[in-house]
Amino acid sequence: MINRREFLQCSSAIGISCIDPPVAVPPAANYHLIQTDTLNSWSVADPIEWSLQNADQPILARAADRLGKLTNEDNERIVRLVVRRCGLNLVDIQSNQVTVHYWSDQLADLRPFFKASGLASPDVQVTLINRKTEVFAHKIGDEFRYGERLAEDFSVELLTSKWHHRFVNQPDDQQAVPGSRAGFAWEGLEDGQIPWAAMKSAWRRMQPIICLNCDQPNILVNFGLPQVSFFRHAPRFISVCPKCQRSFVDDSITDVTGWMATNLDQGVRPGFRVVFGNRVERLASS
């Protein structure tokens, strides 16, 4: 019989022989269960014992009949049963190695748990095991952060430098924010490009969005109403966290004209709307 730790280690390395017993005494287990629908999580000393002892609890109701016929020697059956029927993910943390057992498409949104546990880091190795197919996926903890990675050529240094100078005018403030796409046009810039002067005005006026990873203020890098398809323009508000270097889309703003009236000084508002690549509408507020 293999013990709990050996079982889970073997489960984490299917395809690798687990006949030889481990030489060293493994560290204390650090097991957690995550409910996939609520994302509630809690730690358990031993997931097998916990499942057997709590078989009559509502959270394990869908596995109760089977659990009543199993013993603590049925390690693998119990893990597969609980993650399959009860909508739970089992997380096994050993230092910077994390293994997540889940069933088919019932993988929880792991980002809140990884954030709370300090696991959303490039130093953390993550193995996801689909217990239905026994297919493994190897990830790094960094992949469980909120937001999107920045493009390789995105200059956080330039962004933070301009942000630190948001209360002063600089000679290059009429130049475009790299990569900006507003659906509006300013004199002297290509259609859609946002001048730093307008962005600085927004930084001075708006309440910053807080980074979901770092709980620190993000910096806005795009606003506007660009054309996204033949018939449609859509709000495009994007901010960046300089610390974790992730970008975030804010889809809570629907009244873009109203937002610009509130957050852009009159002298830095756009002169035109851009439709099908043409400056079609002169804006009265500029």
Question: Does residue 241 interact with Zn ion by CB under 5 A?
Answer: yes
* Pairing of β 97-102 and β 125-130: parallel
Nearer to Zn ion, 241 or 274 (CB): 241
Residue of the chain from 62, 80, 243, 279 that contacts Zn ion (CB under 5 A)? 243
Count of residues that interact with Zn ion, criterion CB under 5 A:
6
Which C-beta is closer to Zn ion: that of 214 or that of 234?
214
Identified binder of Zn ion from the candidate list 185, 197, 211, 220, rule CB under 5 A: 211
- Shortest separation between residue 239's beta carbon and Zn ion, angstroms: 10
Give the CA distances from residue 270 to residues 97, 203, 279, in Å, rounded to whole numbers and listed in that order.
51, 16, 11
Least distance CB 214 / Zn ion (angstroms) = 3
Shortest distance, position 213 Cβ to Zn ion, whole Å: 4
Residue with tokens 């990884």: 114
CB 213 within 8 A of CB 146: yes
How many CA atoms does the CB half-sphere of 81 hold within 13 Å? 23
Looking at the Cβ atoms of 128 and 214, the one nearer to Zn ion is: 214
Strand pairing partners for 282?
272
Nearer to Zn ion, 12 or 213 (CB): 213
Rule CB under 5 A: say whether 244 interacts with Zn ion.
yes
Closest Cα partner for 189 from 285, 272, 276, 284? 272
Q: Could you give the count of Cα atoms lying within 13 Å of 11 in the half-sphere of its Cβ?
A: 29
Find the shortest distance in angstroms from Cβ 86 to Zn ion. Answer: 33
Under 8 Å between Cβ of 22 and 28: no
> What are the beta bridge partners of residue 91?
32, 100
Q: How far is the CB of 243 from Zn ion (least distance, A)?
A: 5
Residues between 158 and 177 that touch Zn ion (CB under 5 A): none
Is 115 a binding residue for Zn ion by CB under 5 A? The answer is no
What value does the CA radius of gyration of the chain take, rounded to a whole number of Å? 26
The reply on whether position 213 binds Zn ion by CB under 5 A is yes
Q: Is the dihedral of CA 112, 117, 122, 126 positive or negative?
A: negative
> What is the closest distance, in whole angstroms, from the C-beta atom of residue 160 to Zn ion in the complex?
13
List of residues contacting Zn ion (CB under 5 A): 211, 213-214, 241, 243-244
